[in-house]
Amino acid sequence: MSNHVRIFDTTLRDGEQSPGAAMTAAEKLEIAQALDTLGVDVIEAGFPASSNGDFESVRAIAGFVEHAVVAGLSRAAPKDIARCGEAVKGARRPRIHTFISTSDIHMKHKLQMQPHQVLEMVAQSVAAARNLVDDVEWSAEDATRTDKDFLKRCVEAAIRAGAGTINIPDTVGYSFPEEYGALFRELIESVPGADQVVFSAHCHNDLGLAVANSLAAVAGGARQVECTINGLGERAGNAALEEIVMALRVRKDALPYETRIDAHRLTRLSQLVSRVTGFPVQYNKAIVGKNAFSHESGIHQDGMLKNAQTYEIMRPEDVGQGHTNLVMGKLSGRHAFKTKLRDLGYELADNALADAFVRFKELADKKRQVFDEDLIALMDASLAHAADAIQVRRLRVVAGTDGPQTAEIDLTIDGQEVWAPARGNGPVDAIFNAIKQAYAHEAALLLYQVNAVTEGTDAQAEVSVRLKQGDCVATGRAADPDTLVASAKAYVAALNRLIALSQRGPDAQAMGVG
C-alpha cells in the first residue's frame, strides 16, 4: 500500500455549505488556483446540478486548474451525473464524485427508498459516471451510521461498477477514532476488489473529532483525506486541511505517510479563505491561528529563548507564519512597502501598488505603528472590495450619552452618489439604518462582531457582518482604525456579496447534502 495520502480539498463545495460562506465564481477561481499551487491532489470545485452559478464556476475551475484533479459532486440521479460530467469535462484530470445515502435513517426519511433500490442506484450511478469520465469516486453518505453488511454490499457494487475511489463519510460527525479506523480496516480486508481502489475519509467535526477520525482512517488504510481550509463547513465544519497535513508531517514516527502539500503556503491560504468568506480564523486555531505560536507565560518564554524546541513542535515559518514586527510608519518609503508586501505574499502590479501605497499612507497618518496584521487587513479589504457595486464614501456619526444617535452616509451605488441620514438605537444601528435608506433592501442582520487587529487603543477594528435575504446568507468583513467606519464598510461588504450571490439558484445545503 502506498505511503502517499491524497489531500482532497472540499473548501469550495462542503466548505461553502457553511451558512454565510457562499463565494462568487471569481473568488472560487482565486481559491482553486491557490489550492493548486499549495499542492492538493483533488479540488472538489462544487456541485454542478445545484445551480447554474455552481455549474459555471465548476466549469471555469476545470478549465483553469493545472495540476490537481478537478471533481464535481453529483447525486445519483442520471440528470445530475450528466450535468456534473459536462461541468468537469474541460479539466485536465476530471472526476465525478457521486453519492447516495446508505444508512437506514437516511434511506427511510430522506430518500424514501428501500435498501435494494439504493443498491441498484449505486451500481447505476457509478456506471453512468464511468461512461463520462475515467475517474469516479463514490460516497456512502452517512456511512458511519450504516448497517455494516449493507455498507459492504454497496461498496462492492460501486467497485464492480468502476469507482476508483470509495469514500466513507462520517456525515454527522458521530464516529470515534477507534471505530472509524476499524471500519476502514474491515472494509479493506473484507470487500472483494478493495485492494484495487483508494479508500477515502470524510469527517465532520460535530464532536470535535474530525481530524482525529481522519488520522485514524489513514492508520486503518485510507489513502485519501477530504478536508477544508480552516475546517470550514456546515455546522461544526469539516476536518481542517492544515491540521491533517501538519499532523502527518510532525508525527511521521507514528503515521509514516506523505502528502504533496507545500506547508509554507498554509497561513496565506487560511487568510485568503477567511477574507473571501468573511469567517475570521479563531486566535487559538491550530497551525494558522494568530496565537498558534505565541508564548505568553514567563516560563515558556524563557524556555523558548534557550531552545525553541522546548515548547515548539514545529516552527512558525514552516507553515508560513511570520513573526509580528513593528514594520512600517508614516516615513516608510515605497520601496520598503513593496518589499514588505512581497514578504507577506502580495505581488502587485505598479498601478495596484501605487493605490495600495496611498491607502497605507492614509492608515499610517491615523495609526502611528503599522504592524504586519494591519497591512494584511488593509490589503485583503482592498482586494476584496475593489469591484463592489456599492462603496462607502463618507460617514458622519453622532454618538454619546445624550441621544439620539444619528448617522449620515454617502455611498456610491453603481457609480451614482447617494446620501442618506438616519437615527438609531446606538451609533451602529443608526449607520445600518442609513445604509438601508440609501439602498433599500430587506436583509436581516444575523451577526455583528468586532475584533481588534492588533493591540492598543489605536488598533484597527475588524468588523464582521452577516446578512440574510431569502435563502441567501452572506458575510462581509472590513477593518479601519474607526470602529464605526469599519462597521459601515463591513455591512456594505455583506450587502455586495448578497447582490453577487443572488444570481445563484439553491445551494448544495438547500439540496440536502451532508
Of the candidate residues 11, 139, 200, 213, the single one contacting ligand KIV (CB under 6 A): 139
With CB under 5 to 8 Å by kind, the binding choice for 99 among Zn ion, ligand KIV, none is ligand KIV
**Contact status, residue 198 vs residue 6, Cβ threshold 8 Å:** yes
Task: Give least dist CB 210 to Zn ion, A.
Answer: 10
Please identify, using beta-carbon distances, which residue of 14 and 80 lies nearer to ligand KIV.
14
Of the candidate residues 80, 135, 141, 507, the single one contacting ligand KIV (CB under 6 A): 141
Of the candidate residues 6, 8, 13, 14, the single one contacting Zn ion (CB under 5 A): 14
Three-state helix/strand/coil letters over 83-138: HHHHHHCCCCCEEEEEEEECCHHHHHHHHCCCHHHHHHHHHHHHHHHHCCCCEEEE
Q: Does 480 interact with ligand KIV (rule: CB under 6 A)?
A: no
Residue range at the interface with ligand KIV (CB under 6 A); choices 163-171, 248-256, 375-383, 420-428: 163-171
Task: Give least dist CB 481 to ligand KIV, A.
Answer: 41
Of the candidate residues 59, 153, 202, 477, the single one contacting ligand KIV (CB under 6 A): 202
Q: Does 489 interact with ligand KIV (rule: CB under 6 A)?
A: no
**Contact status, residue 199 vs residue 192, Cβ threshold 8 Å:** no
Report how far apart, in Å, the C-alpha atoms of 462 and of each of 282, 409, 457 are.
13, 20, 13
**Number of residues in contact with Zn ion under rule CB under 5 A:** 2
- List the beta bridge partners of residue 478: 463
Q: Does 232 interact with ligand KIV (rule: CB under 6 A)?
A: no
CA distance linking residue 414 with residue 263, whole number of Å: 41
Q: Which residues within the stretch 79-118 sit at the binding site for ligand KIV (CB under 6 A)?
A: 99
With CB under 5 to 8 Å by kind, the binding choice for 319 among ligand KIV, Zn ion, none is none
Residue range at the interface with Zn ion (CB under 5 A); choices 6-14, 72-80, 246-254, 463-471: 6-14
Of the candidate residues 85, 94, 169, 181, the single one contacting ligand KIV (CB under 6 A): 169
Please identify, using beta-carbon distances, which residue of 204 and 468 lies nearer to Zn ion.
204
Task: Give least dist CB 501 to ligand KIV, A.
Answer: 21
Q: Does 16 interact with ligand KIV (rule: CB under 6 A)?
A: no
Torsion from C-alpha of 15, 134, 3, 218, nearest 10 degrees: 40
With CB under 5 to 8 Å by kind, the binding choice for 360 among Zn ion, ligand KIV, none is none
**Contact status, residue 389 vs residue 412, Cβ threshold 8 Å:** no
- The DSSP result for 31-73, as a single string, is HHHHHHHHT-SEEEEE-GGG-HHHHHHHHHHHTT-SSSEEEEE
Widest distance between CA atoms in the chain: 77
CA distance linking residue 369 with residue 227, whole number of Å: 38
The closest alpha carbon to 175, from 239, 246, 247, belongs to 239
Q: 445545503: which residue's cell?
A: 509
Task: Give least dist CB 171 to ligand KIV, A.
Answer: 4
Task: Give least dist CB 255 to ligand KIV, A.
Answer: 23
- Tally the residues of the chain: 514
Phi, psi angles (nearest 5°) of residue 86? -65, -40
| Spacing of C-alpha 306 from chain mean position | 37
Please identify, using beta-carbon distances, which residue of 40 and 488 lies nearer to ligand KIV.
40
Q: Does 514 interact with ligand KIV (rule: CB under 6 A)?
A: yes
Q: Does 146 interact with ligand KIV (rule: CB under 6 A)?
A: no
The grid coordinates of residue 228 equal 477544508
With CB under 5 to 8 Å by kind, the binding choice for 18 among ligand KIV, Zn ion, none is none
Please identify, using beta-carbon distances, which residue of 160 and 235 lies nearer to Zn ion.
235
The closest alpha carbon to 263, from 280, 287, 284, 240, belongs to 287
**Contact status, residue 286 vs residue 255, Cβ threshold 8 Å:** no
Of the candidate residues 171, 267, 433, 475, the single one contacting ligand KIV (CB under 6 A): 171
Q: Which residues have CB under 8 Å from 294's CB, separation 6+?
A: none
Task: Give least dist CB 202 to Zn ion, A.
Answer: 6
Residue 114 Ramachandran class (φ > 0 left, ψ -120 to 50 alpha, else beta): beta
Residue range at the interface with ligand KIV (CB under 6 A); choices 54-62, 167-175, 317-325, 441-449: 167-175
- Residue ranges that bind ligand KIV, judged by CB under 6 A: 14, 99, 139, 141, 167, 169, 171, 202, 204, 513-514
- Residue ranges that bind Zn ion, judged by CB under 5 A: 14, 514
